[in-house]
Amino acid sequence: MRAQSEIERLIRQRVAEDPSAIWLKFKDSQYSWEEVLSFAQRAANGLLSLGIQPRDRVALMAGNSPEFLWMYFGAILIGADVVPLNRWQRGPALEHMLKDSGVVAIACDPDVLPFILDARPQAPGLRYLITINAGQSIDKSVDFSDLLGAPDAEPKVAVDRPVAAVGLLYTSGTTGQPKGIAAAKYEPLLTPLLTAMGVKAGETMYACLPLFHANALLISAIGSIRLNAKLALAERFSASQFWDDCRKFDAVQVNTLGAMTSILMKQVPRPDDRDNPVRTILSVGTPAAMWRGFETRFAVKILEWYGMSDAAGILLNTQGRVGSVGKPVGGAEFKVVDENGQSLPAGQCGELLFRHPAGQATSYHNLPDATRKAYEGGWFHSGDLGEQDDEGFFYFRGRAKLAIRRRGENISAWEVEAVLDACPEVLESAVIGVPSEVGEEEVMAVVVLQPGKCISPEDLIKFCEGKLAYYAVPRFVEFAASLPKTGTQKIQHSVLKERGRTEATWDREQAGVVVTRS
């Protein structure tokens, strides 16, 4: 018996319905459902020929390409648990993930292989190294193209249970060591998002976020299969290429994260900005100050939402309430609590807690204490700050761990960043707390300027005045060429916090700049 996953069942259903229909578009190539199944079956049989068995864990540490998906589908077909890993992880974090996950095989890009070889001594169970798009076997690895020489036939292997879309999914590690998230089944939890996007069968979804991240893999790739839509895949996000890609592929839907909408908004306006096929953008982190302007300029609708890989629970804003991440969907319950776990009234900021009627859908791999703590009292403790208004709309206010404590006041790094990012000269920013000589912390902003733009620290402070509480206006400012980020474009505040102030850091107090209390 070979139990089929929902993903395999849907692919076979699409092949039966219309084998020549196109599913995947990548650069100038496109692949039909029949070709997708062929690649998946050959990859599956190739993995079996290596010795990989059902319930083995197989890691994927590669950039966006069709081969990533063939490898992913192949592992699913033989009942292996897929572990997507951030291709930019290195050193101790990579060693931890390889050891903690217990993967027996890893498929990676050729440039990633040396780092895996360095980490391999810490992962004794890692037996098989597979390179993607190398063209030849290198450094004790097997090239994926060799595996595709296996038979194009349904794999003959006993699979005793349908595998989930992901076996383990690791947190980005922006505030600490990455944790492996084991989920029983993510796919049904995402149904409200897929419904809200309004994508019809045969239409195209555009994905430029990395497939090793839940957003692109589960919402875009798997979501397009569930919707019987097409998937246009880009290697990476490019602000200059974004809208041209959407036009080329006739994409009606896109997902964005973090600063992506801000970066797109700060591109030089073009006469054809509104001339694009995109209807909806499923967004995380669109600044309220530019929300309506973005929708008007590009003729799209923003659907802001909130969710975590760590647990089941989604907030979705389909009503267009600017700045809000929306209301609970899919039967989830959300509340805002204080430091003692007591519910807070509307308008007060606290930690976001949520639970799902399906119960506890996730756990932290090899971390039972962390799992119990996260689900204390039957609610998942997100570690995120938020508030609710009188009409039930929720608002995200940043990570609790990134909150800054200055002279008795709690400051949201996210709120300060939102103001800084609204400055015309600023491309993006990161705000951290640095030690204060009088105790607690001071606010420090690390700022990346728009290409060709210039602004003094003094003028940047003036821009912030009146838009932030006086105590939240940064004392320290440092201009940088770029910000450290994860592969999913999340700013690594922990890296900046560990570095702290440098010789290039400007000090407002030392410069004699006084912020008006208003």
- In sequence order, what DSSP letters do the residues of 181-214 get, joined into one string? EEES--GGGGHHHHHHHTPPTT-EEEE-S-TTSH
Calculate mean pLDDT across residues 383-392. Answer: 96
Nearest to 177 by CA among 306, 91, 295, 294: 91
Q: Which has the minimum average pLDDT: 149-153, 323-327, 485-489?
A: 485-489
CA distance 498 to 296: 40
Looking at residue 28, what is its pLDDT? 97
Looking at residue 173, what is its pLDDT? 58
User: What percentage of the chain has pLDDT greater than the value 70?
Assistant: 97
Instruction: Find residue 113's DSSP bridge partners.
Output: none
Looking at residue 517, what is its pLDDT? 77
Query: What number does CATH give the domain 6-183?
Result: 3.40.50.980
Top-confidence residue, 395 or 184: 395
Classify 255 as helix, strand or coil.
Answer: strand
Indicate the pLDDT class of residue 188, thresholds 50, 70 and 90.
confident
The chain-wide mean pLDDT, for the chain, equals: 93
pTM across the whole model: 0.86
Domain ranges of the chain: 6-183, 403-507
Looking at residue 90, what is its pLDDT? 82
| Class for the domain spanning 403-507 | alpha beta
Position 424 pLDDT exceeds 70: yes
Residue 99 structure tokens: 């050891």
Nearest to 352 by CA among 377, 315, 387: 387
CA distance 445 to 476: 6
Position 399 pLDDT exceeds 90: no
Calculate mean pLDDT across residues 103-109. Answer: 97
In the DSSP assignment, the letter for residue 288 is G
Position 240 pLDDT exceeds 60: yes
CA distance 259 to 430: 11
Position 296 pLDDT exceeds 60: yes
Nearest to 417 by CA among 434, 394, 398: 398
Q: Which has the minimum average pLDDT: 190-199, 232-241, 399-408, 458-467?
A: 399-408
Looking at residue 325, what is its pLDDT? 98
Looking at residue 176, what is its pLDDT? 60
Q: What stretch of H or E contains 396? A: strand 394-399
Indicate the pLDDT class of residue 263, thresholds 50, 70 and 90.
confident
Instruction: Classify strands 506-507 and 476-479 as parallel, antiparallel or unpaired.
Output: antiparallel
Position 405 pLDDT exceeds 90: no
Q: What stretch of H or E contains 337? A: strand 333-337
In one-letter notation, the amino acid at residue 44 is A
* Torsion, Cα of 98, 99, 100, 104 (10° steps): 70
User: What percentage of the chain has pLDDT greater than the value 90?
Assistant: 81
| Sheet of strand 506-507, all strands in order from the earlier edge strand to the far edge | 426-435, 441-449, 476-479, 506-507
Residue 120 structure tokens: 């391999």
Indicate the pLDDT class of residue 142, thresholds 50, 70 and 90.
very high
Q: What stretch of H or E contains 418? A: helix 413-421
Q: The tokens 């595709």 sit on which residue?
A: 148
Q: Which has the minimum average pLDDT: 301-305, 383-387, 413-417?
A: 413-417
pLDDT digits (tens, 9 = 90+) for 302-318: 999 999 999 999 999 99
H helices of 271-353, in order, are: 291-298
Q: Measured on CA atoms in the order 478, 479, 481, 484, is the torsion positive or negative?
A: positive
Spatial contact of 281 and 305, defined as CB atoms under 8 Å apart: no
Residue 506 structure tokens: 């400007």
- Distances, alpha carbon 477 to alpha carbons 399, 512, 517, in Å: 21, 14, 20
Looking at residue 10, what is its pLDDT? 98
pLDDT digits (tens, 9 = 90+) for 46-87: 999 999 999 999 999 999 999 999 999 999 999 999 999 988
Calculate mean pLDDT across residues 325-351. Answer: 95
Position 175 pLDDT exceeds 60: no
- The DSSP string of 355-380 is E-TT---EEETT-HHHHHHHTGGGSE
| Sheet of strand 362-364, all strands in order from the earlier edge strand to the far edge | 169-170, 180-183, 362-364
Burial class, 357, CB count within 10 angstroms (exposed 0-12 / middle 13-18 / buried 19+): exposed
pLDDT digits (tens, 9 = 90+) for 4-63: 999 999 999 999 999 999 999 999 999 999 999 999 999 999 999 999 999 999 999 999
